[in-house]
Amino acid sequence: MISFKGKKYPCCASLTMGLIGGKWKTVILYHLTQDTLRYNELRKSMPTVTERTLSLQLKALEEDGLIKRKVYTSKPPLKVEYSLTDFGKTLIPLINSIAEWGDLVVEKYA
């Protein structure tokens, strides 16, 4: 058993999928590998995600230490930006490999 942030996982693959698995987490991380983005920019880049799901997934990624949320309160309206943490940046090669594999599937098997 592997333990990470109080959660137990049966193996390292399970840990990885626990952190980035699901329909939207990897997509969010993919967009954040390119740039720091505001909530609405993320929302526009994923038009089929619901606001509730996006908020929950961002919160989960932040709790796991993969992304950071920066709030600017100096003047209204409130501005919130999301970016990868140093820990999150370690996923860039993996995220890029997943994206490249998706391109391969479309090219050769679609």
Does the residue 65 lie in any domain?
yes
Does the residue 74 lie in any domain?
yes
What pairs with residue 9 in β-bridges? 2
Does the residue 76 lie in any domain?
yes
With b meaning 16 or more CB within 10 Å and e meaning fewer, what string describes 66-101?
A: bbbeeeeeeeeeeeebbebeeebeebeeebeeeeee
What pairs with residue 67 in β-bridges? 84
Does the residue 81 lie in any domain?
yes
Boundaries of domain holding 62: 24-109
Domain count, the chain: 1
Which domain CATH number covers 83? 1.10.10.10
Does the residue 70 lie in any domain?
yes
Question: At 2, phi and psi to the nearest 5?
Answer: -110, 135
pLDDT tens sequence across 48-58: 999 999 999 99
pTM (2 d.p.): 0.92
Does the residue 29 lie in any domain?
yes
Does the residue 97 lie in any domain?
yes
pLDDT tens sequence across 17-74: 999 999 999 999 999 999 999 999 999 999 999 999 999 999 999 999 999 999 988 8
Does the residue 56 lie in any domain?
yes
